[in-house]
Amino acid sequence: MSRIIGLFLLLVFAGQAQESAGELYRGGLITPPLPKPRFVLTDTSGAPFDFWARTQGSVTLLFFGYTYCPDQCPMHMATLGTAMKKLPVAIADQVQLVFVTTDPERDTPAVLRRWLDNFNHRFVGLTGTPAAIDAVQKAAGVPPAYKTTSPDGNYGVAHANFVVAYTKDNRAHVIYPGGVSKDDWVHDLPRLIHETWSQDPRTGVLAAGSPGRSQ
């Protein structure tokens, strides 16, 4: 098993407090929400990808991982790929999945594209220099990945095992750890698309409101 930095380590690292999402969301609500980072990396066609500009107006799912991952990365991508196929096209078209490699040495643009195509041809794959990828993880509030060695001389990559979901307000109010099912995504994605976030006047904290409700 690859060594994965879990959901709760993110919350400790970033100083966030998780609260139960109850029946509204199957992921974990975080307060305060994480701001969407601004960065440019290279996509699988070799072109620059401006994350902030290219994801405006959509629900954006950001995940850091690598194609040689033996467990969590293919699990997340397969679950999301299956869920996207089950959603109405009008809903699926408003969701972007951006996969940033934490192993740029082996994950060339061509390798990334072939691997992501196993799950969904619309998934975006990004790479860059190790320094650039570390900076992006820090900007997203995610603990930077690091290499782990094995007795046979190969290596793995320990990385955060959760999907960060940015809604149309360019903030992430919900994150999804490993173990989230296809049905959970089918339940949550339409709600995330139509969600508005109301502010508690007593605390100033943004909270999930009824999907589609105006503020």
Q: Tokens 């139960």 appear where?
A: 20
The reply to whether 27 falls in a domain is: yes
Structural domain count, the chain = 1
The reply to whether 214 falls in a domain is: no
- Supply the range of the domain harboring residue 10: 4-208
Span 6-12, average pLDDT = 39
Tokens coding 59 = 């629900």
Going 123 to 192 to 136 to 106, the CA torsion angle's sign is negative
Q: For residue range 182-215, list pLDDT tens digits in order.
A: 999 999 999 999 988 765 434 445 566 544 433 3
- Report the alpha-carbon distance of residue 53 to residue 49 in Å, rounded: 9
Q: For residue range 26-39, list pLDDT tens digits in order.
A: 999 988 999 999 99
Q: What is the CATH number of the domain that holds 69?
A: 3.40.30.10
The reply to whether 213 falls in a domain is: no
Q: Hey, what amino acid is at 135?
A: A
Q: Is 75 exposed, middle or buried (0-12, 13-18, 19+ CB in 10 A)?
A: middle
Q: For residue range 134-154, list pLDDT tens digits in order.
A: 999 999 999 999 899 877 778
The reply to whether 155 falls in a domain is: yes
